[in-house]
Amino acid sequence: MSMYKKKIITGMMGGLLAFSLAACGGGNAPTGSSAASGGGTSTGSSGGKGTTIELAISKSSQDSIFVQQNLLDAFEKETGIKVNLQLLPAEQTATVLQTKLAVDETPDIVQYNLASATTDLNLERNFEILDNEAWASRLLNKEVLSAYGHIYSFQLSQDTGMQGVVYNKDMFKELGIEIPTDFDEFLAACEKIKAAGITPVFMPFKDNWAANIWPGAAFADYAEKNEPTLFDDINAGKKKWSDVPAFADILQQQYEVYEKGYTNGDILSDSYDMAVGKFLNKEVAMMFMGDWLIQNVADKDPKMNLGLFPIPYAKDSKLGASPLGGQLFIPKKAKHMAEAKQFLDYVARKDVAQKIVDEQKFVSNFNDVKTPELPTWKQEIVDNYITPKKTVLTVDAHMLVDRSELYRLLQDEFAGGTDAKGVLSAWDEKFAQLMQDKGAEGF
Amino acid sequence: MKISRKLYSYYLVLPALLIYCIFFVAPAVAGLFYSFTDWRLDRVGLKFIGWNNFERIFTDKTLLLAIKNTLIFAVVTVIGKNLLGLALAIGLNMRLKTRNILRAVFYSPSILSVLVISIVFTPMLRSDGAINRIFESVGLGFLAQNWLTNPHVVIWTVAAIAIWQHAGFQMAIYLAGLQSISKDYYEAATIDGAGAWTSFRSITLPLLLPALNINLMLTLIGGLKVFSEVFVLTGGGPGNASQVVGTIILRSFGEGSWGLGTAVNTLLFAAVTIIAIPLLIFMRRKEVSEQ
């Protein structure tokens, strides 16, 4: 090959490389510019009839009430708008949605969890505020759909998934145990159960998030009663997690339950998916978990008599209310904003909402939609905690950063890698770093 | 008669080169660029921040632990997979009635999905699992462990499983190398009075060096890039006890720290290159030919 040809080929190669690099690097410019101009404007929303809107949902949530075929068919029949489902792989839901939002391939509606959306999906930047929607004025409990003082999400139910101690009521009755109201009573109950040859508490801490149920509810209850501005102060960098001695005590309490032998033997090998079986086989009496577990057990055996009481870290603690799972959000850059909002209007309509609420036994969140007769365990939660307002939003609702490192640290406490104070000081470091990365003031 | 020895034109390499540039070179170079920025999920635009991401890697305790674990895993698996693979290859190169079946048996774990292996091993490695029961039944109860939940043991356990899974693959490469060595050398050595060890040291090992090289490279690069074994068996836990560089990259992306994630990835790429290439050159020089 002649030198001339070689030079031409080298030049072409260089050019191609430069072109391909420019193509890769250029991806940011449109993101930035459209983000700046996006501002919640609705585009391409003329008409409605014949339009297809995209609803992105995790594969693990495909039994969600919002994507039931009869609901989607009825909506299409009435409005002519078709809802197309984008089923996202369960383990990659956050990543896929983050990418879609980053590259402006936004679905028109997203089903996600409010607390996670604040940290994973940058709620304020990416999603529409829904305060002024017609259905918003009919809400009984706006708080469960809100963040940063605005309604960002939509749900028919105000039953937010309560967290506390799931317990076998029949077992308690047989052993003559009353619901513990503080930590000493709780330990005494554990001792009695253990003496009867039953594992008092099932800790499936292979799934590290499960270690967060106890502190998640207890931290929030402590803050509400003792330092109402605590989480604001922490999020502003004015206070650290380790500055609150009660937090270390709360973590130590959970560890004490394990240390005293009141749990399953290999807590770091046991996972959450074993929980239903453990209750069905009557191997365990309690578990720090949400009321969804009671529903899961009831689905398998309706005769199982389970209930829920607040985390007994202190007297008169409240039941933890997790920020709702499975709400609908509308991205600011939704291509069919008007049609997406029309879908929410349709689901919120009294007759449609009533039908769903009746079928699902929801605690209605609309003032004109009646709550149907609930299963006993759920009715007790409503009567004893939700109606008298003895619930407190768990700490997840106040956490502005990814929480997975906290979960890992909690797990590490049980692996012997650290202690309660170590968990908090390590989390302080990580939290500060994540807030700093986020550009939060005070860090 | 004049024989034409004209080579194909260089133009023919263009399509492959183009694909390689677009899908490998460009992302790699772009990754290098992003590793010097504060690229984040929740920020519009990005800023050049110099070596900050790399400084953070070397000051963050978890990241340092991940680097340490990666090195432990790489060293242990390189040694384990090669020693076991070589021993199996030598054993199964002998005249055994069952050698074909045994070769298939020892090779089979390497074609299993790591997920399947995780499902099989996880219950066995519980504190009340089969491994500990076996130890107890033979009077070695003191060796019983929480294999996957003891922070001091977990990375070694994962490495042991990786060795178990892949030693058969290394065995296959060593077997191919062994079978290419002419029997004449061994016959001549026997006539000269050489024993088994002398034959192995003076004939087998030198002529097996090409197979050894390829195995060392594969196991070393695989060891440094470890991800799936740790991810499915422990998820980097308990706590962060078994985090490796691969899982840290995933974690960084999950936290939205894309710049940091690409920096860790760049570092891994550099480490693999710096360790593997000189080793490859060194080993190549040691290779001998039968001719």
Model confidence pLDDT, tens digit, residues A148-194: 889 999 999 887 689 999 999 999 999 999 999 999 999 999 999 99
Average pLDDT along chain B? 91
Cβ contacts of B14 on chain A, cutoff 8 Å: 12
What does the pLDDT read at residue A316?
92
What does the pLDDT read at residue A18?
43
DSSP character at residue A152: -
Instruction: Decide if A16 and B18 are in contact by the 8 Å CB cutoff.
Output: yes
* Confidence label for B276 from pLDDT (cuts 50, 70 and 90): confident
Q: Is A167 helix (H, G, I), strand (E, B) or coil?
A: strand
pLDDT for B213 beyond 60:
yes
pLDDT tens digits for range A11-39: 554 444 444 433 333 333 333 333 333 33
The CA distance from A105 to the nearest CA of chain B, in Å, is: 15
Smallest Cβ distance to B10: which of A9, A266, A404? A9
Query: Selecting from 3.40.50.880, 1.10.10.1100, 3.40.190.10, 3.50.30.40, what CATH number does the domain A3-160+324-369 have?
Result: 3.40.190.10
Count of A-B CB contacts under 8 Å: 113
Smallest Cβ distance to B25: which of A17, A415, A416? A17
Average pLDDT along chain A? 86
Q: What are phi and psi of A238, to 5 degrees?
A: -85, -20
pLDDT for B289 beyond 80:
no
Name the least confident of A48-62, A337-351, B204-218.
Answer: A48-62
- The CA distance from A93 to A98, in Å, is 8
Q: Which residue of B has its CA nearest to A211?
A: B239
Average confidence (pLDDT) over A368-378 = 91
What does the pLDDT read at residue A65?
86
Instruction: Decide if A21 and B41 are in contact by the 8 Å CB cutoff.
Output: no
Q: How far is CA B199 from CA A45, B83, B87, B89, in A?
A: 81, 18, 15, 16
What does the pLDDT read at residue A135?
96
Give domain limits for chain A: 3-160+324-369, 165-321+385-438
Task: Considering only residues A5 and A19, tell me which one the structure prediction assigns the higher pLDDT.
Answer: A5
Q: Which residue of B has its CA nearest to A125?
A: B42
Q: ipTM of the assembly?
A: 0.80
pTM over 0.90: no
- Yes or no: say if B90 and B99 are a contact pair by the CB < 8 Å rule: no
Fold equal for A3-160+324-369 and A165-321+385-438:
yes
What does the pLDDT read at residue B3?
65
What does the pLDDT read at residue A374?
87
What does the pLDDT read at residue B291?
53
The CA distance from B277 to the nearest CA of chain A, in Å, is: 24
Of all helices (H) and strands (E), which one includes residue A88?
strand A82-88
Task: Please give the CATH architecture assigned to the domain spanning A165-321+385-438.
Answer: 3-Layer(aba) Sandwich (3.40)
What does the pLDDT read at residue A377?
92
- The CA distance from A355 to A375, in Å, is 17
pLDDT tens digits for range A80-111: 999 999 988 765 677 788 878 878 889 999 99
Tell me the percentage of chain A whose pLDDT exceeds 70: 87
**Does residue A418 belong to the interface with chain B, where contact is any CB pair within 8 Å?**
yes
What does the pLDDT read at residue A23?
39
Average confidence (pLDDT) over B239-244 = 94
Average confidence (pLDDT) over A382-387 = 89
Tell me the percentage of chain B whose pLDDT exceeds 90: 69
Question: Residue B86 burial (CB < 10 Å; 0-12/13-18/19+)?
Answer: buried
- Yes or no: say if A348 and A278 are a contact pair by the CB < 8 Å rule: no
Query: Of A307, A318, A434, A441, which Cα lies nearest the Cα of A381?
Result: A307
What does the pLDDT read at residue A16?
46
pLDDT for B87 beyond 90:
yes
Neighbours of A414 (CB within 10 A): 22
pLDDT for B211 beyond 70:
yes
Query: Which residues of B touch chain A, with CB atoms under 8 Å apart?
Result: 9-11, 14, 17-18, 21-22, 25-27, 29-30, 33, 38, 40-46, 122, 126-128, 146, 148-151, 236-241, 251, 253-257
Instruction: Decide if A94 and B254 are in contact by the 8 Å CB cutoff.
Output: yes
